[in-house]
A and B are shown apart, each in its own frame.
Chain A
Amino acid sequence: MADTTAITANSIPAPAAEDHGIWGFSRAQFGALGVMLVILAVGPFLLYPVFLMKLLCFALFACAFNLLIGYVGLLSFGHAAYFGMGGYLAGHAAKVWGLTPELAIITGGATAAVLGAVAGWVAIRRQGIYFAMITLALAQMIYFLCVQLPFTGGEDGIQAIPRGTLLGIVPLDRDLTLYWVVAGIFLLGFLMIHRIIHSPYGMVLKSIRENEPRAISLGYRTDDYKLLAFILSACLAGVAGATKSIVFGIATLTDVHWSMSGEVVLMTLVGGLGTVFGPVVGAAVIVTMQNYLAELGAWVTVIQGVIFVICVLAFRRGIVGEIGNWLKVKL
């Protein structure tokens, strides 16, 4: 890895020099964070906690995906592999090995990180469209492995995963207790991503997105930076999947299927690529939509396709991007 102290000295202004916000958030972003925290706090008293937990898992998944597309400019079309594998391993760890939920989730995240390291090592050799095709193909390979490997339970998946007791002290059987844990995991992941993209390392990532040959000519080993970003993104996607399997007590092939990779792209696109809050809003919109339209069956796919087309043709900034543009702030 290149020397990061030289980075800030040479080329890119330190993040603190451009926004005078709080903890690296600009004023508008800090306001939005406040709104999000309030919604997180009162949400479970107004809405069904399990629904909110599902939403938070997908929001974290979308944020992890956005780290790659929004800040490094890499479109991964295979993120379901890390999400699903995280879920499988967490389920296996909690059910068969009898680990506590926090250790199960860490197992899931670590597995996804290892998987991401191998897949990323292969995929970062190409850019743009090729990168998307390669990640999709590798994810399909992982999907076939999940169909064949005995521990995933094939078509049945891993069922009856226990929620367990957090740290061996707090039983998570009550939905509301589990909700606070999930909200904590989400916030931790969200703030971690925020920290990453505002670090000197994150600045280099953005310079790779803007102009990779120039970043190379400045002496950065861009492949190392991209690989680390891929691993971090895969790891957080794995944590999201692991949390989801603990919440629902089930891990299935749906979560590793390519359509799940498409869904996370859609969530991020709807919310706004490269915005801090976009993936969260996008996940909320898509999960809510699926919840209310579930009885329509295959039409949900059609509606998702239509949203894709509309977003690409007319609405490329996404919801949060449009609001930010309208208020003239970066959200």
Chain B
Amino acid sequence: MDDIFGIPAPLLFGQLLLGLINGAFYAMMSLGLAVIFGLLNIINFTHGAQFMMGAFAAWMLLEWAGLNYWWALVLVPIIIGFTGVVLERLMISRLYKLDHLYGLLLTFGLGLIIEGVFRNQFGSSGLPYRIPAELQGAWDLGFMFLPIYRGWVVIAALVLCLATWLIIEKTRLGAYLRAATENAPLVQAFGVNVPRMVTLTYGFGVALAAIGGVLAAPIYSVNPQMGTNLIIVVFAVVVIGGMGSILGSIITGFGLGIVEGLTKVFYPEASATVIFVIMAIVLLARPAGLFGRA
């Protein structure tokens, strides 16, 4: 096999694939954050915990109810999305009139509670979740072996992100949503039930995080900390992309995942910090973010 820039090609493509998978999760998570932020004006710090709950819910469905991966893919977003709806109605909705920072503090506290409860129940070490039989094995692409499940994650995440983009940009419901983001009282005056839309939007964002969790379960071990470590990187991704544009957060998410993967090949010591460094550079050059509005 040939070398590319002095790096063995299988290593390069392998890390690129890993980067693409991380990027898929960054994209889905930052998309959820952006959708929630657009309408609710809060940063959902619980997002990481909800991602983790998605993975655990898939594990529970399999172990306790015998429902396989495909069932989990359908049921988990509904279940976790519903917990999001309850959370919004009971707690988050009380904070809309206050400084947005209180929303951050509340969701941070909720994240601590959820993570702590899961750690008490399941310990810190991970639980295994097997790749479904249909997606086991690997394809030989000629230049590398592509594990089928990993290819599936990238494609599924892309489809989910583009579907979300289509719903928001091209449908009537999405038009209401965008209008309410611009001027909620006016939309309400036209007879749209904005508070219900806000609740459902939060539920939708949470469901997106939960699907991410289900997709992640067979790749990473299912453990209580999996979400928190991810969410801090996703915050940096959100700052880099700016939360103004849906397509922007998808592109930024995938792009940064690939950059991170390449860093692992060329300068592994910096792979944990490269996204934060990029964030600092972007802030110095374009404070509003790559796709953001000032």
Contacts and interface: CB of A to CB of B under 8 A. Distances in A.
A144 B116 contact: no
Contact of B101 (A132, A148, A305): A132
Interface string B1-44: 00000000000000000000000000000000000010000110
B105 A269 contact: yes
Contacts of B272: 144, 147-148
Interface in B67-119: 91, 94-95, 98, 100-102, 104-106, 108-117, 119
Given A129-B104, A309-B113, A301 B119 contact: yes
A312 B109 contact: yes
A182 to B, nearest CB: 29
A265 B110 CA distance: 14
Nearest to A140: B232
Contact of A305 (B91, B110, B232, B280): B110
Contacts of A140: 232-233, 236, 276
Contact of B106 (A125, A148, A308): A308
A137 B273 contact: no
Contact of A145 (B37, B42, B273): B273
Contacts of B117: 302
A258 B116 contact: no
B103 to A, nearest CB: 8
A18 to B, nearest CB: 25
A77 B108 CA distance: 11
A137 B276 contact: yes
Interface in A296-331: 297-302, 304-309, 311-313, 316
B239 A130 contact: yes
Contact of B105 (A123, A136, A265, A297): A265
B247 interface: no
A134 interface: yes
Contact of A312 (B102, B238, B239): B102
A302 B232 contact: no
Nearest to B237: A137
B153 interface: no
A69 to B, nearest CB: 8
Contacts of B238: 133
A262 interface: yes
Contacts of A237: none
B95 A137 contact: no
A141 B95 CA distance: 31
B44 to A, nearest CB: 11
A284 to B, nearest CB: 20
B277 interface: yes
Contact of B120 (A138, A298, A308): A298
Residue from A130, A148, A269 with most neighbouring chain B CB atoms (10 Å): A130
Interface in B271-289: 272-273, 276-277, 279-280, 283-284, 287
B109 A305 contact: yes
Contact of A125 (B111, B236, B287): B287
Given A133-B235, A133-B238, A262-B112, A144 B273 contact: yes
A13 interface: no
A289 interface: no
Contacts of B119: 298, 301
Residue from B100, B120, B232 with most neighbouring chain A CB atoms (10 Å): B232
A252 B287 CA distance: 34
A211 B102 CA distance: 19
Interface of B: 37, 42-43, 91, 94-95, 98, 100-102, 104-106, 108-117, 119-120, 228, 232-233, 235-236, 238-239, 269, 272-273, 276-277, 279-280, 283-284, 287
Given A133-B239, A308-B109, 6 more contacts: A136-B232, A140-B232, A140-B233, A301-B116, A305-B109, A309-B109
Interface of A: 75, 77, 122-123, 125-126, 128-130, 132-134, 136-138, 140-141, 144-145, 147-148, 258, 262, 265, 269, 297-302, 304-309, 311-313, 316
23 contacts: A125-B284, A128-B101, A129-B37, A129-B100, A133-B235, A133-B238, A134-B283, A137-B239, A137-B276, A141-B273, A262-B108, A269-B105, A299-B116, A301-B112, A301-B115, A301-B116, A302-B120, A305-B112, A306-B113, A308-B109, A309-B91, A309-B109, A312-B105
Closest 4 CB pairs of A and B: A308-B109, A305-B112, A305-B113, A301-B116
